[in-house]
Amino acid sequence: MVAYVLAVLAAVGLVGAAALMFRLAGKGTDDRGPGGLTAGHAGAMVSALFLLVFAIAVVVPWTTADAARRNTQAESRAVVDAYWAAAGLPSVMVGPVRTGLREYVTFVVEDEWPLMARGRLDPMGGVRLDELRSRITELASGDEEQREARAALLGQLGAIGAARAQRAADAAATPPSGLLALTVLTGMAVILLPFLAGARPRGTTLVPLVAMAALLGLGVYLTWDITRAFDGPLAVTPDAYTTALHEFARITGGV
């Protein structure tokens, strides 16, 4: 934070030093009007800066949400593959393992998803996966087919755990706080710049200014509203897991 403050002070100091030097040297002409070169230059640069910051503030959450959506699809595919792999286990274990996988996905959709909108996962999801992994690990070695099914199932459970860890990171991810603050500050500067330059809008000239301020305020609010991948307009939905539940029913013939 100190570095940011020093950077601002250095830039302001540079303006003051340049103004003083040119005045002492007798160079240039006074520029006091709101339509002058100084106001026009500052307005163009502030607008460009706002557009740059606004674009980053939108693109970063959009990219995060897109990556989070792909990760949920990867996790759901791993769960379905684990469900298939369970068929090779001893017959007494097929039902319990598949039930555990189905309960895990149901838990993610019904219990864990609302928490993800607040940036966190329910620890019980990890506990459920650990219990499944422990049950598979403790299985006595059977024939070659059962050993291969056990290894495949453990591999898929590892993939589910990795995808779950990434989902936790996606849920907690937010744009840098300084970026959102800079979006607000530059937006306010764009709105107030005509007044700061000395203009006093009257009558119909207020209409485009008010319209711009309203749209700009809406855009700034949007950057705050999409900060989390699992909440807001860009929220990732649990469709991938709902599809997995339907796939489970198809694999077991509707059971």
Task: Please write down the HEC assignment for all residues of 30-54.
Answer: CCCCCCCHHHHHHHHHHHHHHHHHH
CA distances to 133, 190, 197, 236 from 130, in Å: 5, 53, 64, 25
8 domain-assigned: no
16 domain-assigned: no
Average pLDDT, the chain: 84
Q: Indicate the pLDDT class of residue 83, thresholds 50, 70 and 90.
A: very high
* Whole-angstrom distance, CA of residue 183 vs CA of residue 185: 6
219 domain-assigned: yes
Q: Indicate the pLDDT class of residue 103, thresholds 50, 70 and 90.
A: very high
Question: Within 10 Å of residue 223's Cβ, how many Cβ atoms?
Answer: 21
93 domain-assigned: yes
Total number of domains constituting the chain: 1
68 domain-assigned: yes
Please provide the distance, in angstroms rounded to a whole number, between the alpha carbons at the two ends of the chain. Answer: 59
Task: Give the model confidence (pLDDT) of 44-70 as tens digits.
Answer: 888 888 889 999 999 999 999 999 999
pTM for the model stands at 0.80
15 domain-assigned: no
131 domain-assigned: yes
Task: Give the model confidence (pLDDT) of 172-197 as tens digits.
Answer: 998 887 888 888 888 888 888 877 77
58, 226 Cβ separation under 8 angstroms: yes
Helices (H), 86-176: 91-107, 113-116, 123-137, 144-172
5 domain-assigned: no
Per-residue pLDDT for 10 more than 70? no
Domain that holds residue 174: 36-251
CA distances to 8, 84, 85, 101, 139 from 143, in Å: 71, 18, 15, 24, 12
